[in-house]
Amino acid sequence: MVYKSQRIANWYFTIALLLFVLQVIMGLWLISNYVFTIPQSIVDVFPFATARAMHTNLLVLWMLLGFMGGTYYIVPEETGSEIWSPGLAWFQLVALVATGVVALVGFAFGWIQGRPLLEIPRPLDIVVVIGALVFLFNVGMTMFLARRWTAIQGTLLGGLVFLALLYLFGIPFYSNEVIDWYYWWWVIHLWVEGAWELVTGAIMAFVLMRLTGVDRQVVEKWLYIEVGLFLFTGIAGTGHHYYWIGAPTYWLWVGGIFSALEPLPILLMVIDTMNHVRHRKTQIVNPHTWTIAVGCAVLHLIGAGIWGFAHTLPQINYYTHGSQVTVSHGHLAFFGAYALLNLMVFYYAMPRLKGIEIYKPTRAKLGFWTMCSAMMLMGLTFGIAGVLQSYLERVLGMGYMTAQSYMWLWMAVTLVLGVFFLAGVVITVFDLLFPKAAEL
Ligand code: HEM
Ligand code: HEM
Ligand SMILES: [Fe+2]
């Protein structure tokens, strides 16, 4: 670590990790609701929808804190300067975490807006917007004053500005449900298949360059191609959410064709990740961080690319829409693309921020492989439940609850796998919070 202000990143990472554990505990509660009959007295005070809102909002919050911390770690090294205002970085962290705590407590008491993943009520939205503006201003000023522009910085800032702008479309409420969902997808889809992909591209490029010593020009050339393709396919690909909400029928074509192309940039990311290691110039000092990078590229391709492609054509989505097939894809994609991206950055930065250049990878490996295997299997079990559900409900016309009884076994297996997943997460989080130096 060269820059003092990078230290703030450690706080972002630490809080993100604790929220990750909490998110997964909520996931276990959710799956228990599918497996056991929860007494009505509990359901009355803590309904499934409340727990689900906590699970998904915690997910968004920890990942955004991870991206912000990652940015505060990377920007000083890219610009060759300290962060413009560490004070603002602190202010923003406290504001966002306070919003998160108020939101979670508020959800428990029914203070909720109701649109999935963006459930936090309007007044809290305003705090989030202020936090985001402070963040962008701080990062922008650091880059502007340093005047050492790189493609990585540009893409990172571009992705973060795009991310913040999109959030604004989720704030107004339209009494016409079609229009309301239309803009809701601008946030959800254009985040994960647009803005977040740009942030991912930039962060991946930075870490790959640092790990392998491959020339900046090579890494940045790939970055340009990927970013261009992500935007080209991802923006029109939004149409894969407009098939059945009452939008014009041309979306069946636009959404189908463009979203079917979305796996391309993700595939490129896997190829260039592998290419970099083949042409590496230095020995990789922490090979486990490299393993996470490869794991991220591959699971990103499986979860988002392949699992996304599987139900993106309207002919298939007609049957699978909103079933456990969607849940299977949601888990594999978020975990593969964004949980592992964050964990890669944490493993790159956190030991170093604690003065450890080479960390002992034993616990890290155990945590990583447990999480990845459990999540891959959960993707399969959710997927099997989803295919059953699509067939029973949409082909045979069975009622929702009757179909559930046939899916029970697969939800029960998911619960068992979820316990293993939690174990992997706890090992990983513990290792990151208390890393050990390698014995040389
Ligand atoms: C890392 C990137 C991605 C993430 C994190 C992600 C995550 C999600 C999530 C959470 C949902 C459920 C939304 C909801 O209904 O509440 C969803 C839906 C969907 N995703 Fe993705 N996704 C990604 C990339 C992709 C890609 C590349 C494709 C296509 C190739 C795709 C195709 C779809 C489709 C078609 C749906 C709608 C499913 C339905 O009709 O129920 N996704 N995605
Ligand atoms: C022990 C681990 C976990 C379990 C058992 C679990 C379980 C669940 C359950 C039961 C749901 C509700 C599905 C429904 O509405 O029918 C859900 C939703 C969701 N979970 Fe998890 N979860 C876990 C971990 C995770 C992780 C690690 C991530 C992301 C990295 C994640 C992302 C999501 C998302 C995006 C949704 C919303 C899906 C959608 O809109 O279709 N979960 N989870
Ligand atoms: Fe999408």
Give the pLDDT of residue 1: 64
CB-defined site of ligand 1, < 6 Å: 116, 192-193, 240-241, 259, 262-263, 304-305, 308-309, 311-312, 317, 321-322, 326, 329-330, 333-334, 337
| 296, part of any domain | no
- The span from the CA of 120 to the CA of 113, in Å, is 6
219: three-class secondary structure by DSSP = helix
Residue 359: strand pairing partners: 437
CA distances from 325 to 34, 138, 384 (A): 15, 41, 8
Please name the residues in contact with 211: beta carbons below 8 A apart, sequence gap of 6 or more.
280, 284, 286, 289, 290, 293, 348
| 56, part of any domain | yes
Give the pLDDT of residue 280: 87
| 89, part of any domain | yes
- The span from the CA of 214 to the CA of 278, in Å, is 10
Place of tokens 């390698």: 438
For a substitution probing ligand 1, which of 118, 267, 329, 334 has the most ligand atoms within 8 Å of its CB? 329
CA atoms within 13 A on the CB side of 89: 26
Give the pLDDT of residue 439: 85
Give the pLDDT of residue 279: 87
- Which residues are found with C-beta within 5 Å of the ion, ligand 3? 189
| 205, part of any domain | no
| 116, part of any domain | yes
Classify burial at 70, counting beta carbons within 10 Å of its beta carbon; exposed 0-12, middle 13-18, buried 19 or more.
buried
Q: Which domain holds residue 98?
A: 1-122
User: Across the chain, which distance is largest between two alpha carbons, in Å?
Assistant: 64
* Regions of the chain where pLDDT drops below 50: none
Question: What pTM was computed for the model?
Answer: 0.97
| 137, part of any domain | no
Instruction: Give the pair of three-digit tokens for residue 316.
Output: 């298939």
- Specify the number of domains making up the chain: 1
What is the position in ligand 2's atom list of the atom closest to the CA of 20? 27
Query: What residue's CA is closest to ligand 2, atom 3?
Result: 27
